[in-house]
Amino acid sequence: MSNWLELSVSADIEAAEAVTELLARYAPNGSVVLEPPWQANESEPGETSTSQPYLTDSTRPVLLRIYLAEHPAVAQTCREIEQALWHLGRLRPVGPLQVRTVSEEDWANAWKEHYQVQHITERLVLVPSWLDYTAQPHELTIALDPGMAFGTGLHPTTRLCLRLLEQQLQPGMRVLDLGTGSGILAIAAAKMGAVEVWAIDNDPVAVRVASENVAHNQCSEPVRVLEGSIEAASGHFDLILANIIANVLMSLADGLTQALAPNGTLISSGIIDERETEVALALATTGLHLHARQRDADWVALVHRHQRPGS
């Protein structure tokens, strides 16, 4: 795990953009702006009901922050930033540069503290692999440690896919999960009775995490995890899950359709609502027919069927 230097500066609202611009010269990967919230009840800092609009308090300083990887020249960089801030401080009030070291461990696993058991449907339950959970007789549990891979079950795209998977999967089906991430959908398919599941991702981190989760759920028999894209899959599939993003779905439309068995079903997700029409059109031009759609927040999932002539 690598260490980073966290550089923070407070400034008033008018100087905030200039300070951010200055800091960004040294941190091309981006910066953070923390504006103080206006709170009606100061006795409960950090918590405001969603029924109240979120407002920022323009009379209080804004905190600007960047991160620099630790390397031998970083002390010199900090001195340069301090000097530039001093010049800015002659025009507007700018606080001193505050520097602290942060470790990747500090944030990479912080979310785990809040990752709880999730009931996705009446039957399907996601259980963090470090928690104990006693399942009800009708429940189907998936033990999951997503690590740094996508697919915690918290995001609308994953939840949409899981719900649609439960509706569409028939025991004995051959399933492809393209862009498997944590392996969550592949494991769910296996537990629902798929006879064979191909879980493919082009990210080696996802492949490692998915393999671990598949093994942890004792699904290594039906699920094979592979690194690559659609070309890594062979044969035809009764059901394809593609929880990716709109651009990738469109570029893979032909390949996905060709990989479908006659009367096969494609569940595509990861589609931001404003791009739904484009994706639906790209899939329709390959000969697929829209069968169903579901929406959750800004995200849409589509269910297409392959109806080959004579099938």
With CB under 8 A as the contact rule, the residue among 115, 160, 185, 186 that binds other proteins is 115
Q: Of these, 13, 78, 140, 226, which contacts other proteins (CB under 8 A)?
A: 13
The verdict on 186 binding other proteins (CB under 8 A) reads no
Q: Which of residues 50-69 bind other proteins (CB under 8 A)?
A: 50-51, 54-56, 58, 65-67
Tell me the backbone φ, ψ of residue 121, rounded to 5 degrees.
-135, -175
The side-by-side arrangement of strands in the sheet containing 260-272 is 223-227, 196-201, 174-178, 237-243, 260-272, 299-306, 288-296
Which one of the spans 26-34, 128-136, 194-202, 259-267 is the region binding other proteins (CB under 8 A)?
26-34
Measured on CA atoms in the order 49, 54, 59, 63, is the torsion positive or negative?
positive
CA dist list (Å): 209 to 49, 113, 127, 145, 303: 36, 19, 16, 8, 27
Name the one range near other proteins by CB under 8 A: 109-117, 164-172, 231-239, 254-262: 109-117
Cα distance between residue 243 and residue 118, in whole Å: 19
Q: Does 4 contact other proteins by CB under 8 A?
A: yes
- The nearer residue to other proteins, 14 or 221, going by C-beta atoms, is 14
Q: State yes or no: residue 295 binds other proteins (CB under 8 A).
A: no
**Rule CB under 8 A: is residue 42 a binding residue for other proteins?**
no
**Rounded CA separation 86/192 (Å):** 63
Residue 161 CA neighbour count, 13 Å, CB half: 31
Cβ distance to other proteins smaller for residue 63 or 189: 63
Shortest distance in whole angstroms from residue 74 CB to other proteins = 13
List all residues 6 or more positions away from 204 whose beta carbon is below 8 Å from its beta carbon. Answer: 227
Nearer to other proteins, 106 or 221 (CB): 106
Is 6 a binding residue for other proteins by CB under 8 A? The answer is: yes
122 vs 102: CA distance, rounded Å: 41
Q: Establish if 76 lies at the interface with other proteins (CB under 8 A).
A: no
**For residues 174 and 131, is the Cβ–Cβ distance under 8 A?**
no
Say if residues 90 and 33 touch (Cβ distance below 8 Å): no
Which of 41, 75, 79, 87 binds other proteins (CB under 8 A)? It is 87
In this structure, are residues 20 and 84 in contact, taking their beta carbons and an 8 Å threshold?
Answer: no
User: Hunting for tokens 């089906």 — which residue is that?
Assistant: 173
Query: If binding is defined by CB under 8 A, does position 74 make contact with other proteins?
Result: no
Q: Does 27 bind other proteins (CB under 8 A)?
A: yes
- Examine residue 198 and tell whether it contacts other proteins (CB under 8 A): no
Q: Are 292 and 303 in contact (CB under 8 A)?
A: yes
CB of 84 to other proteins, least distance (A): 6
- Using CB under 8 A as the criterion, which residues of the chain lie in contact with other proteins when the complex forms? 4, 6, 13-22, 24-25, 27-35, 37, 46-51, 54-56, 58, 65-67, 83-84, 87-88, 90-92, 102, 104, 106-108, 110-111, 113-115, 146, 148-152, 154-155, 157, 181, 245-247, 270, 272, 297
